[in-house]
Structure formats: C-alpha cells, structure tokens
Structure 1
Amino acid sequence: MVFSPARLSMRQVVLCGAMVVTLSMGIRHGFGLWLQPITQAQGWTRETFAFALAVQNLAWGVFGVFAGMLADRFGAFRVLAGGAVLYALGLVGMALSPNAFLFALTAGVLIGAAQAATTYAVVYGIIGRQIDPSKRSWAMGVAAAAGSFGQFLMVPVEGFLISGLGWQQALLVLAALVLLIGPFAWGLREPGFQSGQPAPREQTIVQALREAFRYPSFQLLMAGYFVCGFQVVFIGVHMPSYLKDEGLSPQVASYALALIGLFNVFGTYAVGVLGQKFARRKILAAIYFGRSVAIVAFLWAPLTPASVYLFSAVIGLLWLSTVPPTNATLAQIFGVAHLSMLSGFVFFSHQIGSFMGVWLGGLLYDRTGSYDIVWWLAIALGVFAALVNLPVREAPIRRAPLAQPA
C-alpha cells in the first residue's frame, strides 16, 4: 500500500481498522458457546468458566491502558501485531489447559491482554489521528459496526466448528485465523511513527491523566461505560446457557448471538452518523435506557424462539452503539494526542463492569439456580447510566497556554 507523507487515506484506515476489529471482536463474541462444552468435558462449574472470562475482561481493561499508551507514543502497528500473536497463544492455551488455573491464565489473562492490543482503544486512536474531525464519529461508527459484523459472521462459524470438529480443535482453528490481524495491522502504519521515534506531545502522560480525571464529564463517561460492560458481557456469555436451561435448542442461542451482531451493524453505524448531528450525551442516555426497556420486555414476555430473536434484534441495535459516541466525545473534549490512552482508561471501567457481569452471572446461578437477580441488576444499572450521561459536557476543554522555553 502507498502511504501519504502526512496522513493515511480515510479508506485505508477504515478498511484495515474494520478488519482488525472484525476478527478480534468477532472471535470473542462467541466465547459463550464454549461454556457448556468445556465445563462438561472438564467437570468444571459454570462459575469456573465465568471466572476465567471475568479475568479476561478485567485483564483487557488493565492492559488496555498500557496498550493505549504504547500506541499513542510509538504507533499502533507494533501493538496490533503483538496482540495478534498473544491472541493466538491464548486460544491454544484455552484449548489445551488441563486445569482451571491454567485456563484462567490463558483464556483470562493472555486473551485479555491480546484483546486490549487489537480492539477499539488502539484502532480508535488511529482514527482520531488520521481522520478529519468532521468524519471522525462516522468512521468510529464504521469500526464499531465492523465488530458487530464480526459477531454476526463469526458466531455461527464458531458454532459450526464446535459441532464439526469438537471444542478443542475449533479453538486451534481460531488461533490460526486470528493471526490475519497482522497483515491488516501493516496497513495501519502511521507515517509519523514509522521512524520508531516517539511522537511529540504538547502534554505529558501525567498531565493528560491529571486533566482527565479532574474533569467531571470524564468520570461520568467512565460510570456509563461500567454499565455497558456489565450488560453486554453478561448477556453475551450467559444468554446461551439461560436459553438452554429454559428448554430452547443450542441453535436458538447461536442465531440469537448472530442477530445481535447483525443488528448492531446497523445500530453502531447509525449512531456514528447521528453523533455528527446531535448531542452525544443524549444519544448515550437513550441507548442505556433503551437497553433496560428491552430487557424488561424480554423477561415479561413468554419465552419462545420468536421472542428471543426479537429481543436479540432490539438489543443488537443498542449493543456496541455506545462505543462511537463515547470515544468521539473523548476526542472532542481532550483532543487526539492521548486518545488511545484515555480511551483505555474509560474502557478499563467498562471491563470492571464486564468482570462483574460475567462473574456474578456464574456465581449467582450456582448459588440460586437462576439468572434472575443479574437480569434485574442489568435493568437498574441501565437506568443509572442513562441518568449519569445527561450532564456530560461535550465542548473542548479549555487549557492554559503552555509556557514557552526561554
């Protein structure tokens, strides 16, 4: 590919970024399909599997901060390529782990670190630096929609691989497939980072962090993202088992997860477009409140394949649609110099919510034999997130002029 001396082309950034997210997010969205095959084969409880995926989400958040720092300072290509290798090693370890500790180490820590290096915080940093602000929200919506298309594409593929090859061999196939992230990362080499030297910054990392954490809107965005993580990871991991417990076939769960991915393609793209025209804080509040309404309707309606598919379509429209407005708001408030790092910190809050959602799902199911408590927690948290996003101030932060050296 030919690189501009100043900036990558918008088509190149969107295409390569979308493909990276499609592979990384598409594979992870199907992990819930492995819950019952692995626990039954290994004789583990659901809490054991859920804890490993909870560790994965927490590790994703922790390592996401450092992946963002490295990508902002040295460029995203090295981070993405290293993340692809870690992802493949984690999937191999997930397939071959003989005990719960090694399973938590590989499926949890290793894959979590890999996801931190190959998903939104890093890719959105490239978009923020390379795409004009007038198209930034749209481009972020396209990248998020790609992650959803990856879910729509990969979840049925993963279900087919499990049924055709067995759960272990299916993971090994995915380990080979995820290495395709490397060639697409090559297309995201930013001209300013190709020398291997750190890019100049007006603020140090410490100054940028101090500014962000003192700003109330940053804290509110973090609180809303906590709820996003709780809801989507609980549903994504535990809904297949919930549906099977209620007597529905495994195919219903596979189709449901695929529908979530399909409809989120439309939802995230639409929100990316709307984020260029309307207040993003109101868009975020509507998304979180809409999720709560959808879950209430799902729990109250008779459970049939049709009701599951309807719920999946509705929740899919709202699934990852929080990602473009949240990250575009961060870019608008704080600028793009430290965008990957700040996105990493906000996403860390998301992953703490993810940890709580997936772990409480397994823990409370083992204690009570039901997912009811966690469903209602997800509803209450959705209302909370809608309220805390309304006061967010989207205007660029005002900074004191930097002192000039003598």
Structure 2
Amino acid sequence: MTKLSQYTLLISAASCVFISLGLNHSQGLFLLPMSEKLNTGRELFSLAGGLGVLFSGLFAPIFGGLADKYGPGKSLSILCFLQIISWIWLGNIANNTDLLGARILLGIGSSAILGIALSVTGKSVSAQNKSLFLGLIMASGSLGQFVVVPIINIIIQNYSWQTATFVSAFIVSLIFLFSFLIAKNSSNQNNDPLKSQNTKVEEEQNQSLTGSLREASKNKSYILLTSGFFVCGFHVTFVGTHLPAFLNDNNLQPWVGASALSFIGLFNIVGTLSFGYLGSKLSKKNLLSTLYSMRSLLFLIFIISPKNELTVLIFASILGILWLSTVPLTNGIISDIFGQGYVTTLFGITILSHNIGSFLGSWIGGRIYDLYGSYDPVWWICVLLGFVSAAINYPINIKPVNRLQQTES
C-alpha cells in the first residue's frame, strides 16, 4: 500500500467521522423547537434520541461485522443512505411516531461509521503510530462538532429547524464519495510495504467471528472495559442532548448552548490527540480511570458554579478535553488484547454498552426534567457514575490473549 493510498484512506475515514459526529452532536439544538412543534414535553424527544443511540449500539456490531467480511466501503454506503432518509424524514415530522421512527433510523445510519473508520485506519498504519492515528480520526469528529454545530444553529435561528434538517441530509450525502475512496484504497492491504504487519493481521483473522466473540466474552478485562464505557455514553449523550436546553432554562441565549457544544468539539481535538499520544506511552487503563475521575470533578464544580457565558464556556472547554478521549484508548485496549482481526466487531459491542448508557442519559434527562422541572438530579448522577467507571477501569489487565502470544512466538 503506497503512502498516497494510506493518506487518502486516512483523510477519507476522517471525513466520514467529521460529517457523522458533527451532525450527531447538533441534535440537541432541535430539542426545544421539535418539542414545541409536537406540543410535547422534553421526554419524547429525549426518548427518541435515546432509542436512536440504542439502535445505533445494536446495529454497530452488525455493520462492523459486515465491514470486516465484505469491506468498509459497502457498509459505509448503506449507512450514508439511511442517514439521508432519516434527516429528510425529520424535516417532515407530523406526529410522535414520525419523531421516534426518524431518530431510530438516524441512529442505525450512524451506528458503525466511527468503528469502521477507526478499524480501517488501524489496519493501515504501523503499531507505534496506531494510537496517534486513531487520535487523528477522533480529532476529525471533534472538528466536525466544532464546525457543524454552529452552522446548524445559525440555520435554525435564521431560517427554520426544518431547513436545518434538509441541509444535514445534503451534508451527509458526501459520505458516499468518501466510502468509495475508502473501498478503493483499502482493497490492496496485502500489498502494503509493511508486510509483517499485514501478515500478522491475516494470521489473526484465521480465527472465526464466533471464536472471537467467545474469546472476548470470557475475558474479564474486556467485560470491565465494556462496562465502564457505559458511563461515557451516559455523560456524552446527556450533555449533548440537554445542555442547550439546560442553559436556556438558566436564561442564556441559544448561541451559548451552540457555542458550548462547539467548544467541546474544539477542545476535544486537543484531548483526543493528547490522550492518543499518551496511550502509546503510558498505561491506557490508568488514563481511562483518570479521565472518568476528572469528568466527575468537573461536573461537581459546574453544579455549584454560577451559570453565565464565561463559566459555561470554561466548563465546555475542559469537558472537551475529556469528551471522546476515551475512544482511542478503549479501541487501543481492545486491539492490544485481541489483535486487529475482528477489532471492528469487538469495538462495536463495546459501543453497544456505550449506547445503552447514551439511551439512559438522553431519556432519563428528559424524564426527570418533565417530572421535577430541573436537570439537577441528573448532574449528580453523572458525578457518581464517573467515579464508578474510574474504579471499574482500574483493574483492567492489558495482556494479549493466548492466541496472539502463540502467534508471536
């Protein structure tokens, strides 16, 4: 595989994540206008969003498995098509069923894009650069959040939320182009000059998918890692879905909520690159424990602080550093333990745990608000869960399974 092909592959994978995550993180901007359109409380939108991420988690291993077996290009094209339909559907919702159906379809359409992008990139670079390149992929998603969220907010405020959904459908259609480039530039991996790396991947893939799943289900560290990732989903989706509305409740203008989400994306670029690099130098599981603990401390400080433009943007900036920095570390641990053979599928299962947490973070946020008229109880739940996840990740043992040790010997 030539250097040009590797860079084309990296840029294409990063572009897919840029688009998908950028649009996903803009969905919280639609909570108030869509709830007003349907004349419902916040729980319905929260439930729809929660179901979307839940179905995303359910379908992530399916599309991840298809990508492992039939190639990433085909899977990405199907996912792109589903997202286009869902955004157009969202722009034409007329009742509660439309909202639920469109958000579920959107969740399915965005399910495995991140996992596929990380996997195809991880298989194309050297082991010593893998953490850094995965960090670059995650940074592209953060850049998408930084760029796309303000654009969507401007369209909503100056035109309409319906117009914003149609623009989103157009933006996501660009994934078709990048899926073609990914398919073209990842099809000749066996010709990569890094022959030893590709030979190792081929040896790992001699194991069946069923065997890989059985192996992972018996691995204590994988179970701990997957359980802890649940908390990341709860945190990220609660904040992404409800932070703009929470700030609106505190008499702050819509631009503050959009800017907060955008700042999270901007500073997550620093976080993912930094922790991606640190993951190649320090213990990944210790870094994860530190990340979750720092999140809890940050939420605690935010709860007791006054809410104004300055404090919100400071909070968003620090949270951005801790936002999705967990992903390259988590994916890296899976790869270190099980190898590259079915890493997309195994990471997809871990994403399922993440998305179960996301479902609860989204739905419980709306449910509690409609019951008590406040998000405060959910913020305290976030504090508790962060410390729990830190404790869960600490005992993880990043040791390659016996199969890989035998291959190396």
Q: Which TM-score bucket, shorter chain as reference?
A: over 0.9
CA displacement at 1:128 relative to structure 2: 2.2
One-letter amino acid matched to 1:110: L
Q: Which residue of 1 aligns with 2:228?
A: 224
Segments ≥4 residues shifted beyond 3 Å: 7-10
Q: Which residue of 2 aligns with 1:91?
A: 87
Q: Does residue 234 in structure 1 map to residue 238 in structure 2?
A: yes
One-letter amino acid matched to 2:264: I
Query: CA contact under 8 A between 2:227 and 2:353: conserved in structure 1?
Result: yes
Q: Which residue of 2 aligns with 1:128?
A: 122
1:162 to 153, 156, 160: 156
State the Cα deviation string for residues 340-393 of structure 1 (Å, max 9, x = none). Answer: 100000000000000000000000111111111111111100001111111111
Q: Does residue 300 in structure 1 map to residue 304 in structure 2?
A: yes
Query: CA contact under 8 A between 1:82 and 1:117: conserved in structure 2?
Result: no
1:78 to 74, 82, 88: 74
Q: Does residue 27 in structure 1 map to residue 23 in structure 2?
A: yes
- For residues 202-217 of structure 1, what are the structure 2 equivalents within 5 Å? 202-217=206-221
Q: Which residue of 2 aligns with 1:62?
A: 58
Q: Which residue of 1 aligns with 2:330?
A: 326
- Distance (whole Å) between structure 1 residues aligned to residue 308 and residue 223 of structure 2: 40
- Distance (whole Å) between structure 2 residues aligned to residue 167 and residue 191 of structure 1: 40
Q: Which residue of 2 aligns with 1:117?
A: 112
Aligned to 1:323, the other structure's residue is in SS state: helix
One-letter amino acid matched to 2:110: Q
One-letter amino acid matched to 1:89: I
Question: Are the structure 2 counterparts of residues 325 and 226 from structure 1 closer, same or farther at C-alpha, using a change threshold of 3 Å?
Answer: same
State the Cα deviation string for residues 95-119 of structure 1 (Å, max 9, x = none). Answer: 1121111211112x2111111132x
One-letter amino acid matched to 2:124: Q
Q: Which residue of 1 aligns with 2:198?
A: none
CA displacement at 1:12 relative to structure 2: 2.0
Q: Does residue 367 in structure 1 map to residue 360 in structure 2?
A: no
Aligned to 1:314, the other structure's residue is in SS state: helix
Aligned to 1:399, the other structure's residue is in SS state: helix
Q: Which residue of 2 aligns with 1:41?
A: 37
Query: CA contact under 8 A between 2:112 and 2:348: conserved in structure 1?
Result: no
- Distance (whole Å) between structure 1 residues aligned to residue 342 and residue 39 of structure 2: 45
Q: Which residue of 2 aligns with 1:353?
A: 357
Q: Which residue of 2 aligns with 1:182?
A: 176
- Distance (whole Å) between structure 2 residues aligned to residue 45 and residue 193 of structure 1: 51
Aligned to 2:174, the other structure's residue is in SS state: helix
TM-score, normalised to structure 2's length? 0.93
State the Cα deviation string for residues 157-195 of structure 1 (Å, max 9, x = none). Answer: 00011122201111011101100011111221122599x
Query: CA contact under 8 A between 1:144 and 1:320: conserved in structure 2?
Result: yes
- Distance (whole Å) between structure 2 residues aligned to residue 48 and residue 301 of structure 1: 29
Q: Does residue 385 in structure 1 map to residue 389 in structure 2?
A: yes
Q: Does residue 141 in structure 1 map to residue 138 in structure 2?
A: no
TM-score, normalised to structure 1's length? 0.94
Q: Structure 1 vs Structure 2: percent identity of aligned residues?
A: 35
RMSD: 1.8
| Greater displacement, 211-220 / 35-44 | 35-44
- Distance (whole Å) between structure 2 residues aligned to residue 340 and residue 273 of structure 1: 21
Query: CA contact under 8 A between 2:61 and 2:112: conserved in structure 1?
Result: no
Query: CA contact under 8 A between 2:234 and 2:357: conserved in structure 1?
Result: yes
Aligned to 2:173, the other structure's residue is in SS state: helix
Q: Which residue of 1 aligns with 2:266?
A: 262
Query: CA contact under 8 A between 2:86 and 2:105: conserved in structure 1?
Result: yes
Query: CA contact under 8 A between 1:35 and 1:46: conserved in structure 2?
Result: yes
CA displacement at 1:399 relative to structure 2: 2.1
Structure 2, unmatched stretches of 5+, are 191-201
